[in-house]
Structure 1
Amino acid sequence: MKKDKHTLDKILGECFKLFLQKGYKEVTIPDIENAIGMTRGAVFYYFKDKQELFKAVIDKYIIENQGIPNKINLNDESGLLRFIINYAEGIHRNRESFQPSSNYPGGLLSYLNLFNSALIYYDGFKEKAALILEQEILLWEKVIETAKISQEIRDNVNSTITAKKFQRLFYSESILNGIVTDFNSSELLEICIEEYNLIKL
């Protein structure tokens, strides 16, 4: 029997909320049944067990959500400054996509806890996450090199180090910003543009 995409998306969406709220270990099969309004037999028609379901949730809401295409238009060649702006907007969209899924304050902390659960219970997750970060660095390096050629920024800028600085600045500031206060993408962008101003011509 063919698996229904609408039902599959419903299962993943509701279980994403559950795992956000309670963490992988604390979510029970009855929790899942109650959240999606289906029996365990119906749930396990789509997934063989809770761990496989958890992996599918992580793939959809972390791996895919954090993928480069969801943050930036890869065909946009408007320069480093525009790339920084678009990247910040992509982070904002990502945050908006998971924040409402939690029914209580602290969506970012819940997301970080979910990430931590994936490191523990999802074999191979660390490697997938590392690959995303590596691909991002390569993309930043490419944009920075192009900006040097077009004389948007200084030609003595170390592309690899600068790429890592921007990536870590985005991640650290977006996390700290979200923990201390409500996420403020404008403030994040302002900080990153200040860093950009240090290397522009």
Structure 2
Amino acid sequence: MEKQIDKESISKRDIILNESFRLFLKKGYAAVSFSDLVEATGISRGNMFHHFKNKEDIFNHAVDRFVFEFLTNDATDFLELTSSTPLKDFIDNRVENIGRRMKSFFYNDKRHSHSCQFHVIYLVSERQLSGLEREISRIREKKEP
């Protein structure tokens, strides 16, 4: 049986994120309308817009909270990028660990809809790559005189 959220003890924003993410996983991003989100959360359309710009904004924030938190909750298995770390080893390690966590997230939990997975995979790869680019730039800046 699915655990019900005590809507009295959490903020409207949290309710929106929790219920919306659950709905995205069940139906897939494309199949969820804004009206579906309003109905699932029990929060008015106006109040939803007070907290988020649109459906995509809700989805992005939900992914930030539930997926990225899961993927990065234990960073101990990530090789740290230092001036003595070969860049190839760092990238290989990072990609391998992210891939393993994504596989665990998507394939060990049968509740996740395949159509939602593609949106999440895109967001994860886009953000991880931009984070990787920042790390590489940071190392390059340290090496330059």
**TM-score bracket relative to the smaller structure:** 0.5 to 0.7
Deviation at 1:39?
1.2
Q: Does 1:55 align with 2:99?
A: no
Between the aligned partners of 1:20 and 1:52, the Cα distance in structure 2 is 16
Match of 1:117 among 106, 116, 119: 119
Deviation at 1:129?
3.2
Q: Does 1:13 align with 2:15?
A: no
Q: Does 1:107 align with 2:107?
A: no
Give the equivalent residue in structure 1 for 2:33.
28
Give the equivalent residue in structure 1 for 2:127.
128
Residue identity in the other structure for 1:31: D
Q: Mind listing any 5+ residue stretches in structure 1 that lack a counterpart?
A: 75-86, 100-105, 135-201
TM value normalised by structure 1: 0.41
Give the equivalent residue in structure 1 for 2:69.
64
Select the structure of larger CA radius of gyration.
1
The ranges of structure 1 where at least 4 consecutive aligned residues each deviate by more than 3 angstroms after the TM superposition are 129-132
Deviation at 1:131?
5.8
RMSD: 3.3
Q: Do 1:63 and 1:128's aligned partners in 2 also have CA atoms closer than 8 Å?
A: no
Q: Mind listing any 5+ residue stretches in structure 2 that lack a counterpart?
A: 1-9, 78-96, 133-145
How has the CA–CA distance of structure 1 residues 22 and 129 changed in structure 2, closer, same or farther, with 3 Å as cutoff? Answer: farther
State the identity %. 28
Deviation at 1:10?
1.2
Deviation at 1:55?
0.8
Between the aligned partners of 1:65 and 1:131, the Cα distance in structure 2 is 18
Structure number with greater CO (CA < 8 Å, separation at least 6) is 2
Residue identity in the other structure for 1:29: F
Aligned residues: 100
